[in-house]
Structure 1
């Protein structure tokens, strides 16, 4: 059965508090750190907005609304972009290079990501990330570029002055019992995330062709009693993939947290080898379903996810095999802009974990 796609915008009315699910005890010196909104966070909001689960939800993507009537989407900087040690104003790219050492990439993976520097961090616009995927951002003619030449967004030279699309906002709270009664002496500090002006969370919803529902709000998002306005929006898409994949080389950019069956290793497709990877520190992901039998207590789980911005380099047998997998062959869709690495009806997949974008590497 054919499907249709709609982009859903969730605009928080207040600061967000998204926890990663690990144990936290209130106390005089305790501080609760926030987590970036997860696919499960927007998945629950999309279910509330539609009153029924879409076939798939792919997000969240941070985006800013402009008064001219258009959106700019933002994506975490790829893990292989680094600042030069001697000049942090210059950005270069880690390069895959042969190594005689033994790695945990598996058989036939002789390459290591070589280079020095601190991660770029910050966020790329959808247009800039598209140039990166096509190999145009930093190439053989431009081994390094100035930060201000790359049209980057929310680059964190100073997180206090340039906090990114979600500004940190510390607040003081009081510990409470399960019945929401204050507990004397249990003060704690929690850091909330406040979207800067015009920033919303977007998610692509895959819906049956016969879908008749319209999203309505507001819905709960980012903490008890916190609301977000809901709207279906146009003019939003994933960055375009390159038109071809020379020599069968495919770069995989992780757009949303990925929970691979093999831990940090991406599931390698047929006719391909994993050649190298640049993977950030793992992120804790807590999931649970209040609507399932037994509620959250029976369904909760804590997993470790590959963070957005991680990069994998795949080598296919041919350019045609690479293109068939990445963007499809006309009859079968490719993996670009879809959740990857888990069975078709896996709840983690349909919630939007592991959305990937494809590009080229050299």
Structure 2
């Protein structure tokens, strides 16, 4: 069941950095929002439409509802199978469609500058063991080099890429023999702009300003036609490891949602900014997502895995157990780590408590394996599988 979240105002997705009055006077917004943020907003949306006569605290005590979407201690039968930035487009026949946009793969680099003005070629990092090179990597693991340039000088900081790839661009990036150029990249500025908001704290009793309490918040304003697309489903059972999902029509019926296409007024992020949530009929409004690599694409080539959403691993950059038929990767391209926490709301009052902040492997990370597999792989995470962490796509190198 596809839902498209379309913002109408600036958005604020707070990071875990402290923002206490009089101590820190600057706050920036994360982008895109984390799975924690989106699942919380959508669960609230479902709860408020479950029975409009009840308050949110009453709804979250309803066992019929919490069995489906969970409560503060679990997610019930709720499953999120896709979280992505998306843009609305017009198809050649005039109908609307949605195209998903993907975080930049960490194994893509800009080639050295060329004298001609043509679009710059992109290079892929690949595992290699060139002669005469020794490292302190664990046995069986290899360093990464730009393809065909194992003995060349480092490319430098200017080789790092920023931005997003379309579904077509990502499909090319995950194939070892597809040519790529910077024309496939969508820059951040095409998708959103940052808007600084400056304010000052006021005393509750007198409503007068407080000395030294000036602050600035950087919010995000999406360009028209951009938003967030989520595939929300229900599992047949509450088992978090269950992959058996109900059809969209049955999911909407159990959640008491009308049949698509329809829309709801809702809020998202800090300060509860207004959004419209569209329930999409994929038959009338197609969704263009990156197609997973088929066995034909992987024939004679080795496997790589691309993280489309952040993953939470108990062993840092790797999960507790790799799939048995793959074993451990021989290399990984990871740009760093991403702190993700959240806020656990107490519906009985305006308070709550912070969730555990975790070091996550960011979206766009790449894992290289010395094997191939025909098995379907769509998710790789130790925690948060129910709400969309660790969504992956297969590629080849």
- Shift in CA distance, 288/315, structure 1 to aligned 2, threshold 3 Å: farther
- Shift in CA distance, 177/32, structure 1 to aligned 2, threshold 3 Å: farther
Q: Distance in 2 between matches of 1:176 and 1:78?
A: 45
Q: Distance in 2 between matches of 1:172 and 1:166?
A: 19
Identify the match of residue 270 of structure 1 among 289, 301, 324. 324
TM-score (norm 1): 0.79
Aligned position for 1:281: 336
> Structure 2 matches for 1:73-92, cutoff 5 A?
73-87=100-114, 89-92=120-123
- Shift in CA distance, 71/188, structure 1 to aligned 2, threshold 3 Å: same
Higher-strand-fraction structure: 1
Q: Does 1:137 align with 2:137?
A: no
Return the offset for 1:129: 0.7
Per-residue deviation, residues 276-328 of structure 1 (Å, max 9, x unmatched): 11101211111232158999755521112111111111223xx4xx111xx2x
Return the offset for 1:197: 0.9
Q: Does 1:171 align with 2:226?
A: no
Q: Does 1:224 align with 2:259?
A: no
Q: Does 1:41 align with 2:37?
A: yes
Return the offset for 1:95: 2.3
Larger radius of gyration: 2
Structure 1, gaps ≥5 residues long: 1-5, 139-144, 157-162, 328-334
Query: 1:31, 1:190 within 8 Å by CA — same for their partners in 2?
Result: yes
Q: Distance in 2 between matches of 1:279 and 1:84?
A: 19
Per-residue deviation, residues 252-275 of structure 1 (Å, max 9, x unmatched): 111111111111225522132311
> Structure 2 matches for 1:211-250, cutoff 5 A?
211=251, 212=253, 213=255, 214=257, 217-233=264-280, 234=282, 235-236=286-287, 238-244=289-295, 245-247=298-300, 249-250=302-303
- Shift in CA distance, 187/124, structure 1 to aligned 2, threshold 3 Å: same
Aligned position for 1:359: 395
Any idea what SS the aligned residue of 1:197 has? coil
Query: 1:64, 1:72 within 8 Å by CA — same for their partners in 2?
Result: yes
Per-residue deviation, residues 11-48 of structure 1 (Å, max 9, x unmatched): 11111100112212345983211111111111112212
Q: Does 1:11 align with 2:9?
A: no
Per-residue deviation, residues 152-211 of structure 1 (Å, max 9, x unmatched): 222x6xxxxxx14121111112336899x7751311111111111110111111224343
Structure 2, gaps ≥5 residues long: 48-64, 70-76, 147-153, 236-245
Q: Distance in 2 between matches of 1:46 and 1:237?
A: 22
- Shift in CA distance, 96/219, structure 1 to aligned 2, threshold 3 Å: same
Q: Does 1:152 align with 2:175?
A: no
- Shift in CA distance, 70/128, structure 1 to aligned 2, threshold 3 Å: same
Query: 1:168, 1:192 within 8 Å by CA — same for their partners in 2?
Result: yes
Per-residue deviation, residues 199-254 of structure 1 (Å, max 9, x unmatched): 01111112243431327622220212312111122222541122223356211111
> Structure 2 matches for 1:316-327, cutoff 5 A?
316=371, 319=372, 322-324=373-375, 327=376
The alignment covers a number of residue pairs equal to 320
Q: Distance in 2 between matches of 1:307 and 1:182?
A: 43
Query: 1:65, 1:199 within 8 Å by CA — same for their partners in 2?
Result: yes
Mean alpha-carbon deviation: is it higher for 12-21 or for 107-116?
107-116
